[in-house]
Structure formats: structure tokens, C-alpha cells
Amino acid sequence: MGVPQTMEALRERADFIKESLQKSQIITDNMAAILGSFDHRLSALETAMRPTQIRTHSIRRAHENIDKTLKAAEVILSQFDLTRKAEAKILRGPHEDLESYLEAIDQLRSNVKFFSSNKSFKSSDGVLNHANQLLAKAISKLEEEFRQLLTNYSKPVEPDRLFECLPNSLRPSSSGSPRKHGDDNSKSPTEHQGKSLENAVYTLPTLIPPRVIPLLHDLAQQMAQAGHQQQLFRIYRDTRASVLEQSVRKLGVERLSKDDVQKMQWEVLEAKIGNWIHYMRIAVKLLFAGEKKLCDQILDGVDSLRDQCFAEVTVNSVSVLLSFGEAIAKSKRSPEKLFVLLDMYEIMRELHSEIELLFGSKACIEMRDSALSLTKRLAQTAQETFCDFEEAVEKDATKTAVLDGTVHPLTSYVINYVKFLFDYQSTLKQLFQEFDASDPDSQLTSVTTRIMQALQNNLDGKSKQYKDPALTQLFLMNNIHYIVRSVRRSEAKDLLGDDWVQIHRRIVQQHANQYKRVSWAKILQCLSVQGGGSGSGGGIGGDGSASGISRAAVKDRFKTFNVQFEELHQRQSQWTVPDSELRESLRLAVAEILLPAYRSFQKRFGPMIENGKNPQKYIRYSPEDLDHMMNEFFEGKTWNEQKRSKIYKTRCSVQITEDLAEGKGKVAGLGGCVAVNGKDNLSCGVLESAHS
């Protein structure tokens, strides 16, 4: 197809489109005219309907206003009805039905709020005044009801009930009183009962029946909501504080001053301290804990009063308990008080966490600080008493002499004291750390060592009271041996160590050796050939002499030996070695040096006497006799109690009879001493004991 033809076709189409657009415009114009006529008609119709619409809207609004008014009137009437019903319940009082009474108060409070927000009513002021007066009257009755309920159901807790709440290990003995300090079952809780007490179950006493507590709680809530917090506080404080104080008094707690404590006999005071320790545990773990729980239950939701109420309820009872501890801590120190001070310190440490928990609020800070102060004061007094004890041991100047050389009372007292201290190891270590951060084990070792050394120093001084040096050595031997034996059998051995024990065992042996040297050296010299006379030993000569030692010299030796041995027997049978093992060991040690020397001397020189006249006069004892008599050494017998062997008494009687027959002596009175050759015979007690 050519270009002309194409152009012609395009022109025809353009003309067609133009014609179509013209027709569409005509149609649009016609529709606009029609719609314009409709708009005019609708405007006319609207104008005609407007009066009818206005009347209909007015009628609808009138109906709505009537409905609202009826509903408001219904609400007001219901409030009046509720007020009337609440008033009836309130006038009847809370005694018949406390729960309904509390509901009525809540309703009345709601009514007051309603009329306060709808003061446009003509009668709202009158209704409000009446409701408020009724509400005040209701709260007043409620306050009285709270007081009566709390008073009627608050009774002191009897001691027996409290004891039943304790773990079995802490309950009083069958006599009805707490176990006293020093009883087997009441030693240091920290050492002997610590583990069991950690898991011990304490049952809080029932201070108020559980069924009453919700009622008291609701009453307290109502009083607080009514703005009567102060009245609530006073009623609760006065009632519960009085009852708690009575419970504490029934236990036996009393307020004592330092002067009161100072005037008491030790036995009475010790019993009171033992009771106080028991009562502190009961008060904190049962009474105060019970009061805290009760206060939290009744005053739950009244946080502004709860802590203050608990503080005011307990303050006097806490003060009475702590005042006794303060009086003890401030009283004059003495060694016997150390253990009760440690017991008191222990209980305060044991109760520390619970005191912190119970009295943790700001309102209780004074009581919490007082308890902490008492703990520190007890620790300080105990430490000072400890130091006093060490000094007192060193400087003890008692003139009580143990005449028989046995263990001195001071020694047994100090050792028992130290042994008992080891029942308080944990407590002592805690106490040391109150004042010194260094290792408590080394501190305890140092203190124990110093006490032992102080005791030894004092014993050295006391040993100088003896005029007999042998008795001095025996006294020191006995006492050091007692110390070593006691340490070896106690926990002190682990603390002082094996070296300390070995050193002091050697000291015991040194004193035993010194005793043998001082006591027996002189008598052993009698049995020595070189002990006297001239010349050297040898056979018996025809002239009756033995190598330069004359028969007279031998007789003198035997006589001297007899006198000295009898003197030793008389004195040392009155001395005492209380430890049987040590006693036998010492006897054996003496026998091992005496008997061989005596046998040798008797065997060598005895024939010189036996062949002469009256040999019994000089050779009074056989070695067996001596051994038998030495078994009576260190028995602590008095002179009149000494039992001589039959042989010894017979030979003494023979000797005395012979001397009298020869006219060499005279009786200085019945039962008196016999003088032989003008010299006192040291066996003179035989006749006296025989005739008495």
C-alpha cells in the first residue's frame, strides 16, 4: 500500500473519533441538566423535612434525659439503702458478727466517698455529716474491739511451754531447772553441741490462737485506713509489751546491777549465769522470734507501724536480759569467772545472726547495737581475765605447804583449768580474733605455753620452802610429772607438741636423779671402803682387822648405816609420790644402787661382826629387809601410821633389851626415847608405838 492511501485511512479515522467525541459531549451535557434538576428537588425535600427532624431529635433527647435521671435516682436510692443497712450493723456493734461489721464499715466508707463526689445533691451535706459521724462511731467501737480481742488472747507463756519448744538436747533436766555449767551435757555449745544445734528445730510458741489473728489483722487494717495509726500503735505496744515482760519474768530473768552481782556468793552467781545463758536462747529464738512473726501477721500492710511496734514491744525485755550480761562483764574479775564469761560470749555469738535478723530494722538499731556491745564487752573481759590468770599463776603466794612433797593444789588447779579451756578452743580462737588478726592457733599455743611456764616458775619458788633438799627435788619431780602426764592425756599435747613433752619428761628425770644423789649419797658412802678408816681393802687378819679397817670401824659403819636408813625410812615413808608408776620406778632406781652396795659391804665385812658378840646389834637388816622397808617409801603415811616389818620390830626390841641389860642406856619415861651410849637412838618410836 502506498503512502497516500495510508494517509487517507488515518484521516478517516480521525474524523470518526472527532464525531464520537462530539456525541459524548452532548450526552454529558444532557446528564448534567438532569442531575441539576434532581439537586433542586432534594433541596426542596430537605427543607420540607427539617421541622419533622427537629421534633424527633428533641423527643429522643428527652427520653435519654429521663433514663439518666431514673438511673441516677436509682443509684442514690441504693446508696441510701446501703447506708441504712450499714448503719443498722454498726449500731449492733462488732461483737455479734465482726466480719459483717467490717463489711459495713467498708460500705459506709464507700458511701462517704460517693456523696463526697456528688455534692450537687441538695441533701448530700446532711448525708455526708451523718455518714462521717457514723463512721467515727464505728471506728471507735472497732478500736475497743481490737483492744479487747488482743488483751483477751494475749497471755504470758509459761516456762514449761517454752521448754517444750526447745530441741531435746537443750531442754531442762528432770529437776525442772536448766542444766548447769560444768554438767556433762551442758558443756560449751560451740564444742560439744555445735553441730547438733546447727540443725536443731525450734518450734515457735503460739502467742495468740491462729483463728484470732486474721480478725486482729482486719481490725488493724480498718484502724489504719481510718487514720488511727497512733491508737493502733499504743494498744498493740502496751498489750504485747506487758505480756512479753511477764513471760520473761516467769522464766526467772531479773534485772541485776553490778553491785548486786558483786555481793552474790559464787555458787549462786554461777547458777544465775547458767540460767541466763539458757534464757537468752529461749528469749531470742522463741519469744522474740514469736513476737516478730505475730507483729508481721497482725500489722501486715501497715508498714509504717510494724517495725516500730516490734521495737517498742521488745525493748524492755531486751534491756533486762542484756543488763545482766553487762553487770557480769563489768564486775570484778576472777579466774573462776573465765569459763562463764566464755559461755556468755558463746551464746551471744551463737545468737548474733538471729539478733541481726530480728532487730535489723532502723527502729531496732539501739537494741542491735546493745547486743553487739555486750558481745565485745564479754570478749574483752574474758581476755583480761585470761591475762589475769596467767599473772596470778606466776605470782601465787599461798603459803599452803604440801608437807609430803606431793602434787601442789595449785598445780592440779591450773592443769584442770587449762584442760577445761580446751573445751572452748573455737570460742577462744574467735575471742582472740576480736582483738588480733594473727593466727588464732599460734595465739592459743602461746598463751598455753606461758601459763605452763608461769606454773613452773611458781613451783620453783614453792620448792624453796623445804629445808630438806631431797624433798625439794621430790616435790618438783611430782609436780612436773603431773603436768606432763596431764598434757599427754589431753588436747594440749597437739598444741604444745611432742618436743615440749619430751623436754619436760627429761626435767622430771633430772629431778629424780637429783633426789637420788641428795638423799642417798651420804648413806652410800657408809657402804664404801673408801668412806672412812685407813688403808685399803683386803682379807680378814688374825687380829680381827680387814686390811687396815678395824672391827670397831666396821661396827661404826653398820651403826651409822642403820641410823641413817631408819631416819630416811621414817621421813620418806611420810613423803608421797602419788603416781604409782613413778613411785615404783623411783623405788626401783634407789634399790638398784642401795641393795647391791649393801650386799657387797655385808658380804665383805659382815663376818667380822658375826663372829663377835651381839652381831644383831650392828647387822640389823638383811637386803630383803631393806627391800621390804623401801616398799613403804613415798606412801604418805604419818609416823603413827607407819607399819614396820615384824623383823624390824623384833630386831629393834632385841637391840634395846640388850643395851638395857648391859646398862648402856636408860628409859627416859614410858613410851619415851631410848638413849644408847648417851646418844638418841632414832628408832625410839618403836616402844611408843608398841605401848600406845
Count CB-CB contacts under 10 A for residue 520: 19
Specify the higher pLDDT residue, 199 or 542: 199
Query: What pLDDT score does 193 carry?
Result: 53
Across 400-428, average pLDDT = 89
pLDDT at 436: 82
Check residue 615 and give its pLDDT: 78
How many Å apart are CA 262 and CA 266, to the nearest integer? 9
Q: Comparing 190-199, 215-224, 391-400, which segment has the lowest mean pLDDT? A: 190-199
| The pLDDT value given to residue 562 | 93
Residue 535 sits at φ, ψ, to 5 deg, of 85, -175
Q: Give every CB contact of residue 550 below 8 A, 6+ residues apart in sequence.
A: 533, 544
Angstrom CA distances, 122 to 112, 115, 287, 480, stand at 15, 11, 58, 107
For residue 56, pLDDT over 80 is answered with no
Weakest mean pLDDT among 16-25, 71-80, 245-254, 331-340: 71-80
**In this predicted structure, what is the pLDDT of residue 516?**
94
Indicate the pLDDT class of residue 200, thresholds 50, 70 and 90: confident
**Sign of the dihedral defined by the CA atoms of residues 545, 550, 556, 560, in that order:** negative
Q: Is the pLDDT higher at 25 or at 277?
A: 277
Average pLDDT over residues 70-95: 55
What is the C-alpha to C-alpha distance for residues 334 and 213, in angstroms, rounded to an integer? 50
Place of cell 555449745: 189
Average pLDDT over residues 3-32: 77
Burial (CB < 10 A; 0-12, 13-18, 19+), residue 9, is exposed
Q: What is the pLDDT of residue 94?
A: 63
| Mean pLDDT of all residues belonging to the chain | 78
Burial of residue 169 (number of CB atoms within 10 Å: 0-12, 13-18, 19+): middle
In this prediction, residue 606 carries a pLDDT of: 85
Q: Can you tell me the mean pLDDT for 590-604?
A: 92
DSSP state letters, 231-276: HHHHHHHHHHHHHHHHHHHHHT-----HHHHHHS-HHHHHHHHHHH
State the pairing for strand pair 674-676/679-680.
antiparallel
State yes or no: pLDDT of 352 exceeds 90: yes
- Contact between residue 547 and residue 604 where contact means Cβ atoms under 8 Å apart: no
Interatomic CA distance for residues 519 and 473, integer angstroms: 10
Distance CA 531, CA 564 (A): 15
- Give the CA count within 13 Å in the CB-facing half-sphere of 52: 5
Q: What is residue 422's predicted lDDT score, i.e. its pLDDT?
A: 84
In this prediction, residues 526-551 reach a mean pLDDT of 53
DSSP three-state, residue 54: helix
Give yes or no for residue 652 having a pLDDT over 50: no
Tell me the residue type at 296: D
Q: Determine the pLDDT at residue 130.
A: 61
Task: Pick the more confident residue, 519 or 61.
Answer: 519
Identify which of 517, 654, 538, 502 has the alpha carbon closest to the alpha carbon of residue 594.
517
pLDDT beyond 50 at 181: no
Confidence of residue 262 (pLDDT cuts 50, 70, 90): confident
What's the CA gap between 166 and 204, in Å, rounded?
A: 9
Is residue 674 over pLDDT 70? no
Mean pLDDT of 555-582: 92
CB atoms under 10 Å from CB of 94, counted, come to 24
DSSP code per residue over 541-594: -TTS-BTTB-HHHHHHHHHHHHHHHHHHHHHHTTSB--SHHHHHHHHHHHHHHH
Q: Distance (Å, rounded) from C-alpha 570 to C-alpha 336?
A: 40
Q: Which of 601, 529, 536 is nearest to 562 (CA)?
A: 601
What is the C-alpha separation between 154 and 148, in angstroms, rounded? 10
3-class DSSP state of 680: strand
What DSSP designation does 177 have? S
3-class DSSP state for residue 213?
Answer: helix
- The widest CA-to-CA distance across the chain, in whole angstroms, is 205
Of the listed ranges 249-253, 396-400, 506-510, the least confidently predicted one is 396-400
The Cα angle at residue 691 between residues 687 and 692, in degrees rounded to 5? 115
pLDDT digit string, tens, across residues 98-129: 666 666 666 666 666 666 656 555 555 556 66
Q: Is 388's pLDDT higher than 50?
A: yes
Range of lowest pLDDT (194-208, 515-529, 611-625, 648-662): 648-662
680 - beta bridge partners?
675
Q: What is the pLDDT of residue 433?
A: 87
Q: Which amino acid is at 517?
A: R
Reading the block at residue 257, the C-alpha cell is 546491777
**257 vs 323: CA distance, rounded Å:** 7
Mean pLDDT in residue range 242-252? 94
How many Å apart are CA 676 and CA 538, to the nearest integer?
A: 32
* pLDDT score of 654: 36
Sequence-ordered list of residues with C-beta below 8 angstroms from that of 389, at least 6 positions apart, any chain: 335, 338, 417, 451
Which pLDDT band holds residue 508 (cuts at 50, 70, 90)?
very high
Task: Report pLDDT digits (tens) over 310-322.
Answer: 999 999 999 999 9
User: Residue written as cell 626415847?
Assistant: 673
At 464, list the grid cell: 624453796
Which of 80-84, 459-463, 650-654, 681-685 is predicted with the least confidence, judged by mean pLDDT? Answer: 681-685
Contact between residue 655 and residue 593 where contact means Cβ atoms under 8 Å apart: no
Question: CA-to-CA distance for 168 and 364, rounded, in angstroms?
Answer: 31
Q: How confident is the model at residue 645 (pLDDT cuts 50, 70, 90)?
A: very low
For 614-682, strand residue ranges (E) read: 665-667, 674-676, 679-680
What whole-number distance in Å separates Cα of residue 183 and Cα of residue 167? Answer: 18
Question: pLDDT by residue (tens digit) across 468-498?
Answer: 999 999 999 999 999 999 998 888 888 888 9
- Tell me, what's the pLDDT at 103? 67
Q: Is the pLDDT of residue 194 over 90?
A: no
pLDDT the model gives residue 685? 26
> What residues does 635 pair with on adjacent strands?
576
Q: Which of 335-344, 389-398, 608-617, 660-669 has the lowest mean pLDDT?
A: 660-669
pTM of the model: 0.69
Read off φ and ψ for residue 680, nearest 5 degrees.
Answer: -70, 130
- DSSP 8-class letter at 529: G
Measured between alpha carbons, how far is 253 from 246 in angstroms, rounded to an integer? 10
Q: Is the pLDDT confidence value at 689 over 50?
A: no
**What integer pLDDT is reported at residue 93 of this predicted model?**
55
632, 569 Cβ separation under 8 angstroms: yes
Residue 246 above 70 pLDDT? yes
CB 279 within 8 A of CB 346: no
pLDDT at 489: 86
Q: Is the pLDDT of residue 650 over 80?
A: no
Three-state SS annotation for 16-44: HHHHHHHHHHHHHHHHHHHHHHHHHHHHH
Average pLDDT over residues 380-384: 91
As a whole-number percent, the residues of the chain with pLDDT over 70 amount to 73
Element at 402 (helix H, strand E)? none
Q: Which residues pair with 674 in a beta bridge?
A: 667
Please name which of 278, 277, 396, 280 lies closest in space to residue 335, comparing C-alpha atoms: 396
